[in-house]
Amino acid sequence: MFRPSTLRPALRASAHTRCAIARTTQRTLFSQRSSRLTDDLDVNQLNSKRRDYEQNRTAFLAAGAIAGIVSFVYTAWKLKKAIEAQGEKEKAAIKCDTEVPTEIFKTEAGEKRKVVIHDEDGNEVVPTGNKTVKLFPRRLEVEDAGAAGDVAGPIAATVTDKHGTEFTLVGLGTRTVTFLGIEVYVVGFYVATQDIEKLQHYLVKKINPLATTLIPSEKEDLRKALQDPVEGEETWNSILKDAGCRSAFRITPVRDTDFPHMRDGLVRAVQARSSHNPEYNDETFGNAMRHFKILFQRGLVAKKNELLLVRDAAGKLTITYTDGTRKESVKSTLGTVEDERLSRLLWLNYLSGKKVASEEARKNIINGVMEFVERPVGTVATQVL
């Protein structure tokens, strides 16, 4: 048997042991509970992050899908517009089974004949030989041509209607500058179909006053006369002053330019012919020149657009410009110049003299005139119709 004094230390040690075990157990329990709570908090945070990620991902995917649809629709719309524009160009272009001829005249039975082809709408056109402006219309409808100089003939109603007066192409060519031959524009000379008879009559009577048409040898005499710088200028000067033929020059640039640049070239041509002639030293002609310059105070002229210079029977000059760069061509009148001397000098700049604006144009205009005089006077307009 143990004494109480002996058992007391043992009991005290046992109590200490139980307390230590209880504290250890309590610490472990709280530690596990705390770890479990921490795990629960981490899972919630991860779920939140995952949810945010999914939302952002969905938003980006939706934005990408919308952007893709928008870009697809926009691309389809642009493609549609491009196809429509190409269709318009093809509609306006000439469709031939073969390439457009490069020669303006061809020789048939020993005579030069103007090359005439048809576009898809059936309109007659003439090749220019130029790579940019390939074709010129054989006929023009001109609204500001004025009335004929005399009583209308039997074909007047046919060549004049509410759309204007019909003009027929005589000849054309390309103007070049500098020794490099830089092409500037294509120019064509037109005569009112109703007035071709007047031109025929004047040219035929110049060579043979009793004839109504010219034989080959007489045609060569006329050709030499028109090619001669002095005699050719005298002939055309008389025709422009006295014959009363309505005529026009159609100018189409082959490169982008502007009105002042075109004006300067025309003004220099007029001044070169008028500066040494006292006939043009009066105030009236000076005012006409100033007014002519004002008409060209405009902006750009796009290539392939049309500048039309029209001379009526009295010599009044009317200038119109057609802008073909828009979906529908817009025609505007720049103005008029009443003094016939100015238009006459402009016309001579292309038709005759020692130096002309386009030698190719003068040569082809003469070839076109030869087509007229080989037929009886008064029959060309009927054949054109």
Q: pLDDT tens per residue, the chain (385 residues)?
A: 445 555 455 555 555 556 555 555 555 544 555 555 555 557 777 788 888 888 888 988 999 899 989 988 999 888 888 888 776 765 555 454 457 777 777 777 667 778 888 877 788 999 998 999 999 999 999 987 777 765 445 444 445 555 689 999 999 999 998 878 899 999 999 999 999 999 999 999 988 888 888 888 988 999 999 999 999 999 999 999 998 899 999 999 999 999 999 999 999 999 999 988 888 999 999 999 999 999 999 999 999 999 999 999 999 999 999 998 887 888 999 999 999 999 999 999 999 988 999 999 999 999 999 998 887 776 665 555 4
Whole-angstrom distance, CA of residue 96 vs CA of residue 100: 7
- CA quadruple 224, 229, 233, 236: dihedral sign: positive
The residues that bridge with 187 in the sheet, in sequence order, are 173, 251
DSSP character string of 138-154: SEEEETT----SSS--T
Whole-angstrom distance, CA of residue 166 vs CA of residue 141: 5
Whole-angstrom distance, CA of residue 329 vs CA of residue 350: 27
Can you give 267-325 as a three-state secondary structure string?
Answer: HHHHHHHHCCCHHHCCHHHHHHHHHHHHHCCCCEECCCCEEEEEECCCCCEEEEEEECC
Question: Helix, strand, or coil here: 102?
Answer: coil
- Residue (of 341, 340, 331) closest to 312 by Cα position: 340
